């Protein structure tokens, strides 16, 4: 190896070392900074998921101001049964465990259920304020009062996103 090649390798090695030191300083500085939003404890979504049956493929997106709980039900019949929307109740009840464990319910809560039949899919959605849900979970509201304050809608899903069951 020539002297020029040796000098070039030393220069490139020094440059690599400088980049690594700069990256390390950036990582350490990032760790010390405060998050923009107060994080939701990991236990909160886990408590909700543990309370729901796995066959509904529950998914929780819990943020400081909004919680979205999604469920999927598959039926071997052509259309989902008319009572498939009743699966929303256990989903709402699953939030009781988290609330009782000290998890603060966000201001906006959305629970959705995609009920897939062989030829038709129906979407059921409940939107409710966190305070209203908390009051119902604490039995300060009756079921009728809760229903009056919550928003519910149902609609057909036009495109099949899931293949039919075998």
For 85-119, the pLDDT digits (tens) are 999 999 999 999 899 988 999 999 999 999 999 99
- Of 106, 36, 96, the residue nearest 66 (C-alpha): 106
Parallel, antiparallel, or unpaired for β 66-74 and 59-62? antiparallel
> What contacts 50, CB < 8 A, 6 or more positions away?
97
Number of CB atoms found within 10 A of residue 35's CB: 6
Residue 38: per-residue pLDDT: 47
What does the pLDDT average to over 12-30?
81
What does the pLDDT average to over 36-58?
82
Q: Is residue 36 very low, low, confident or very high in pLDDT (cuts 50, 70, 90)? A: very low
Residue 75: per-residue pLDDT: 94
Residue 125: per-residue pLDDT: 95
Q: Is residue 165 very low, low, confident or very high in pLDDT (cuts 50, 70, 90)? A: low
What does the pLDDT average to over 11-38?
72
Q: Quick one: tokens of 149?
A: 């304050």
Q: Which residues pair with 116 in a beta bridge?
A: 74, 121
H-only helix segments in 101-141: 130-137
Burial label, 41 (beta-carbon count in 10 A; 0-12, 13-18, 19+): middle
Q: How far does CA 158 lie from the centroid of its chain?
A: 24
Q: What is the pTM of this model?
A: 0.70
Residue 40: per-residue pLDDT: 67
For 113-163, the pLDDT digits (tens) are 999 999 999 999 999 999 999 999 999 999 999 999 999 999 988 654 555
Residue 80: per-residue pLDDT: 93
């Amino acid at each position: 190896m020539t002297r020029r090649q040796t000098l070039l390798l030393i220069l490139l090695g020094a440059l690599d070392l400088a980049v690594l030191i700069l990256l390390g300083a950036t990582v350490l500085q990032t760790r010390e900074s405060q998050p923009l939003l107060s994080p939701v404890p990991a236990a909160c979504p886990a408590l909700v998921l543990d309370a729901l049956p796995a066959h509904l493929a529950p998914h929780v997106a819990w943020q400081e101001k909004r919680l979205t709980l999604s469920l999927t039900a598959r039926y071997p019949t052509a259309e989902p049964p008319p009572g498939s929307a009743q699966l929303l109740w256990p989903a709402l009840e699953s939030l009781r465990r988290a609330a009782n464990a000290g998890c603060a319910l966000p201001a906006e809560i959305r629970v959705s259920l995609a009920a897939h039949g062989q030829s038709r899919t129906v979407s059921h959605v409940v939107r409710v304020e966190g305070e209203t849900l908390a009051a119902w979970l604490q039995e300060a509201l009756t079921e009728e009062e809760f229903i009056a304050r919550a928003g519910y809608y149902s609609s057909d899903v036009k495109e099949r996103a899931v293949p039919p069951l075998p």
